Amino acid sequence: MPPPSNNVDDFRAILQQVKHIVVIAGAGLSAASGIPTFRGAGGMWRSLDATSLATPTAFAANPSLVWQFYHHRRVKALEASPNAAHELLAKMSIPNYLKTIAPAAKTFHLVTQNVDRLSTRAMDVLSAQIGKDVKLADRPRPVSVIEMHGRLFDVKCTKCDWCTEDLSNPLCSTLGATDALLDDYHDAGSKENDIPEDALPRCQQCGALARPGVVWFDEKPLRLDDINSIVYKADLCLVVGTSSTVYPAAGYAYRVKRHNGTVAVFNLEPNKGDEHADFVFLGRCEDELPRVLG
Ligand code: BJW
Ligand code: ZN
């Protein structure tokens, strides 16, 4: 297999033919919006590795600590705005705009591992800009974003089926009070930040401990059946800002390749599996996506 190309003209020639486009996105998509990635620089929260907190075991052992981590993440996401990469991907969900980039394209789906809601927000902003007088066919299709690792602003019960979206900050006063403690001298894991379980977010239906509505390791990602059929059909896969280390997302590009589709990676740095891609565009995706696709 030849090494991946970074030739924009060759990539645009492929874009003229493709019919079903899927984007698999990761934390790098939101990096320019100020949301830290998981691995490499920025993957620490205080002295703790972010991925070690994203597990059911960590939550069972110390719900106070894990809730403080997610409180911090919620605040960051509320402060953030979609960047140029979110905006371009949102525009690609407008059929008429998509045709200007990929004239034969019939479908466009964004499967994001991110929980920050920025892709959906970019889509909402665009919908509002387009206004009501545009034909339905020209409007973005909100169904085209799949948040497979859940949503930071969903809160769900650990015991019953209660789940709600809650954008308030703080989610409860005890979490808000930890902001003051989280300075350089107070590690989030230290004793004084220990919030008793009954003062953490609780289910509004049965009163049990609530948890963030995200997908942790060993839990089942969301909408896998929908994603499987999208990936099965796709003849172009754009892999944007992910280290491709977490499955099942890390396996989707390979599946598109296996049925003779094209894979193009947009990432700041080379990553595992890049050698199987047809194209690798190294750089910030907020610059490279508009340059290569725009
Ligand atoms: C830029 C940029 C810029 C920076 N421009 N680029 C052994 C083998 C295979 C699989 C397994 C295994 N052992 C266990 C598993 C399964 C496990 C897994 O994959 N583990 C691996 C670590 C090996 N997977 C799971 O457990 C998943 N569930 C599952 O498989 O269930 C099976 C099942 C199926 C059916 C029924 C029942 C069960 C669940 C995974 C859940 C992951 N959860 C998290 C936390 C979400 C909540 C939260 O956000 O807090 O998801 S972990 C974390 O990693 C988060 C991310 O979505 C995910 C992926 O990270 P991502 O997005 O790639 O970020 P980074 O930081 O790694 O990379 C950023 C990239 O951006 C870098 O490459 C930078 O270079 C780049 N970048 N700036 C472009 N400006
Ligand atoms: Zn409940």
Check whether residue 145 and residue 155 sit in a common domain: no
Which is the closest atom of ligand 1 to the Cα of 248? 30
> Is there a single domain that holds both residue 88 and residue 51?
no
Q: Check if the beta carbon of residue 112 is closer than 8 Å to that of residue 29.
A: yes
Distance 195 CA to ligand 1 centre (A): 28
Nearest to 24 by CA among 109, 102, 142, 83: 109
**pLDDT in the model for residue 88:** 96
End residue of a domain, out of 174, 198, 214: 214
Mean pLDDT for all residues in the chain:
91
Average pLDDT (244-255) is 97
In this prediction, the answer to ipTM > 0.90 reads yes
What pLDDT was estimated at residue 130? 74
Identify whether residues 50 and 178 lie together within a single domain: yes
Question: Does the pLDDT of residue 215 top 50, yes or no?
Answer: yes
Q: Are residues 196 and 289 in the same domain?
A: no
- Relative to the CA of 85, which ligand 1 atom is closest? 5
pLDDT grade for 272, boundaries at 50, 70 and 90: confident
Q: How far is the CA of 55 from the centre of ligand 1 (A)?
A: 12
Any atom of ligand 1 within 6 Å of the Cβ of 246: yes
163 is in an annotated binding site: no
Identify the nearest ligand to the CA of 287 by its number: 1
CATH of the domain at 111: 3.40.50.1220
Say which of 149, 186, 259, 276 is annotated catalytic: 149
Total structural domains in the chain? Answer: 2
Provide, rounded to the nearest whole percent, the portion of the chain with pLDDT above 70.
Answer: 91
Q: Binning pLDDT at 50, 70 and 90, where does residue 144 land?
A: confident
Select from 190, 214, 238 the last residue of a domain: 214
Same domain, yes or no: 200 and 91: no
Query: Are 160 and 197 in a shared domain?
Result: yes
49 secondary structure, DSSP code: E
Name the residue with the closest Cα to ligand 1, atom 70.
Answer: 242
For ligand 1, atom 33: residue with the closest CA: 220
| Residue linked to tokens 């089926």 | 161
Q: Does the active-site annotation cover 276?
A: no
**In a shared domain, residues 239 and 253:** yes
Q: Higher model confidence: residue 181 or residue 201?
A: 201
234: three-class secondary structure by DSSP: coil
pLDDT range class, residue 131, cuts 50, 70, 90: low
pLDDT (0 to 100) of residue 183: 46
Whether residue 30 is found in the same domain as residue 49: no
Residues 137 and 55 occupy one common structural domain: no
Residues 202, 159: one domain?
yes
pLDDT given at position 95 = 87
Ligand 1 centroid–CA 44 distance in Å is 15
d(CA 246, CA 258): 19
For residue 181, pLDDT beyond 90: no
pLDDT, greater one: 187 or 120: 120
Distance, CA of 75 to CA of 279 (rounded, Å)? 36
Range name among 103-112, 179-188, 197-206, 273-282 with the lowest pLDDT average: 179-188
User: What pLDDT is recorded for position 246?
Assistant: 97
DSSP code per residue over 251-289? GHHHHHHHTT-EEEEEESS--TTGGG-SEEEES-HHHHH
Q: How many CB atoms lie within 10 A of CB 49?
A: 12
Q: Which whole number is the average pLDDT over 94-100?
A: 90
For residue 138, what pLDDT band results from cuts at 50, 70 and 90?
low
Using DSSP, state whether 39 is helix, strand or coil. Answer: coil
194 and 94 assigned to the same domain: no
Tell me which residue range forms the domain holding 49: 43-79+151-214
Instruction: Please indicate whether residue 247, judged by its CB atom, sits closer than 6 Å to ligand 1.
Output: yes
Pocket test of ligand 1: the residue of 115, 247, 265 to mutate, having most ligand atoms within 8 Å of its CB, is: 247
Say if residue 47 is in the same domain as residue 174: yes
Of residues 102 and 144, which shows the higher confidence score? 102
Number of other residues whose CB lies within 10 A of the CB of residue 81: 13
- The number of residues in the chain equals 294
